[in-house]
Structure 1
Amino acid sequence: MDVKRLEIKNNIQKEEDRNLSFRVFDLSSKHLENYLQPHKKDHFCIIIVETGKIDIHIEDKIHLLKSGKISIIFPDQVHFVSNLSDDLNGKIILFEEVLFCSDILKNELSVYNVNLATHLNCTVLSNPEFEKSLPLIKDIQDIYNAPSLVKKEQARFYIKVFLLGLIEIIHGQHPVLQHDTHDANQNTYIGFKKLLNQEYKSERTVQYYASKLLITPKKLNEITKKHCGETAINAIHNRILSEIKRQLLFSDLSHKEIAFDLGFSSPSALNKFVKAKLKETPTELQNELAQIYTA
């Protein structure tokens, strides 16, 4: 499957957009035309639903968005929308990665970046929290409609305030994100997740990650069970499995190419791994995923 990559610089609705690092649109069929087929972006996308419903498919998960739910799609996450209700209303905010991610998530809040995308893909807000967010969204849209040099800087801060508010909400909803610099076990878990994302293609033993973290495999298992409810080896296997699903669904690579890209010794080794985990072959999994995304 050839997945189109949309660039924010090409999304020009008015001349001022060429000098803006963000866009704000009403959530309507017109602005969702490019969202109906699987694609990815070089920027962040926020979808806020005020009324109505919409299904958003992100990677191999489907989220039902309705009033009180907000979805943030990260750069290069493959996604599309479906099942738009007739009364759908809300906002879409697009913004460049450098506007937020590079100077906050990658620095001051880097410890929050463990599983953060998964939680922000669909965030449920209480009615007071949701109502509190709407004026800020309106301020961002007002600046987009009539930008000036000073107002553009205001919009940058408004978007950051909005996102930091969401992070604080999920920080309370998901204890794994609550970071205590004095909690050595939590620091270790964060280190494990970061290391796993870097090394999963070539390193898949608990012993490797435990040695890198200067702890025993038994201790690493205790930590992962506490923070994510699974053993270290299951966390490793699930990370590999997630990438297998992504490549089967969204890449044009053959099963042989996927096997070697992910560090398997042969296509049969890939087949054996998927069969053991999901009780189906890579071909069956690929067909199953294709049905979900083309239904």
Structure 2
Amino acid sequence: MNLIRLEIKRNIKKTEDKNLSFRVFDLETATIEDYLHPHKKDHFCIILVETGNIDVHIEDKVYLLKSGKISIVFPDQIHFLSNQSSDLSGKIILFEEVLFCSDILKNELSAYNVNLSEQLNCTALSNPEFEKILPIIKNIEAIYTAPSLIKKEQARFYIKIFLLGLIESIHGQHPVLHHDTQSANQQVYMAFKKLLNQKYKSERTVQYYASQLAISSKKLNEMTKKHCGETAINAIHNRILTEIKRQLLFSDLSHKEIAFDLGFSSPSALNKFVKAKLKETPTDLQHELAQIYTA
């Protein structure tokens, strides 16, 4: 299966859109045709359902989205939509990464940035919270319909207000985030996640990551258990498993090629790893994933 990567510029529907860093569409069958097959994006995607429901597949998880639930898909997350109801309505908002409050999250709000993408992939809001954000969405759509230089700047603020509201909501839903008063610990944990994404193909020991972060292996385990509920070695293994699943499903590489690309010494080592973690072979896993993504 060839996995396409959609660019926000490809979603331009009118010539005056070319200088905009965001897009707004109605969530209906006609507008989601490009979203019905597995793909990645170079931008963020907000999916908001007002009536009806739809399944949102993100990586190896499936979320049922209905009124009161919002999904934010991050750049390069593999995803697609399926099983939309006949009464489906809502909005899709696409926006470039520059609008995602990056500097704020990295500095003043670093405590909120722990496993943020996992939490924002599907967020359930109370009725009052959901009703509160609808006018913000309407304001963004109104600016998209009739943009001007000043209004485009207003849209940036509306999107940030919307995002910060969601982040505040999930922060309240996951009180474990409240208890970490040591910002240094938060920064170290995020540094671990970043380093893991860079080195998972070649470095697979807790000792390596702990030494790179200048902490003990015990301390790293404490941090990962606190922030994501798993040991450091499980975090490392799960990152490798995620890439194995991606390559089995979306690449044309053989199992041997996947094994060597991901740093395994042989295809049998890949087979042993997958079987130990998932109780099935890479071939079984590939068939299982194919059924999920082609159903």
Normalising by structure 2, we get a TM-score of: 0.93
How has the CA–CA distance of structure 1 residues 268 and 198 changed in structure 2, closer, same or farther, with 3 Å as cutoff? same
270-279 vs 205-214, which deviates more? 205-214
Shift of 1:272: 0.8
CA contact (8 A) 1:24 1:141 kept: yes
Query: Per the alignment, in what secondary structure is the counterpart of residue 154 of structure 2?
Result: helix
Kindly indicate whether residue 206 of structure 2 is the aligned counterpart of residue 206 of structure 1. yes
Q: Distance in 2 between matches of 1:99 and 1:149?
A: 16
Q: Distance in 2 between matches of 1:42 and 1:224?
A: 28
How has the CA–CA distance of structure 1 residues 183 and 148 changed in structure 2, closer, same or farther, with 3 Å as cutoff? closer
Shift of 1:258: 1.6
Shift of 1:247: 1.6
Name the amino acid aligned to 1:144.
Y
> Counterpart in 1 of 2:132?
132
Name the amino acid aligned to 1:166.
L
How has the CA–CA distance of structure 1 residues 255 and 93 changed in structure 2, closer, same or farther, with 3 Å as cutoff? same
Q: Runs of 4+ in structure 1 displaced over 3 angstroms?
A: 101-114, 175-181, 183-188
Percent identical across equivalent pairs?
A: 81
Query: Per the alignment, in what secondary structure is the counterpart of residue 265 of structure 2?
Result: coil
- Report how many aligned residue pairs link the two structures: 295
Kindly indicate whether residue 171 of structure 2 is the aligned counterpart of residue 156 of structure 1. no
Shift of 1:119: 1.1
Query: Per the alignment, in what secondary structure is the counterpart of residue 30 of structure 1?
Result: coil
RMSD between superposed Cα atoms in Å: 1.9
80-89 vs 168-177, which deviates more? 168-177
Name the amino acid aligned to 2:236.
I
Q: Deviations over 1:146-180 (max 9, x none)?
A: 11111111001111111111111112222454485
156-165 vs 183-192, which deviates more? 183-192
Structure 1 unaligned regions, length at least 5: none
How has the CA–CA distance of structure 1 residues 74 and 210 changed in structure 2, closer, same or farther, with 3 Å as cutoff? same
How has the CA–CA distance of structure 1 residues 137 and 217 changed in structure 2, closer, same or farther, with 3 Å as cutoff? same
Name the amino acid aligned to 2:195.
L
> Counterpart in 2 of 1:235?
235
Q: Deviations over 1:257-280 (max 9, x none)?
A: 221221111211111100111111
Query: Per the alignment, in what secondary structure is the counterpart of residue 265 of structure 1?
Result: coil
Name the amino acid aligned to 1:209.
Y
Q: Distance in 2 between matches of 1:184 and 1:214?
A: 12
Structure 2 unaligned regions, length at least 5: none
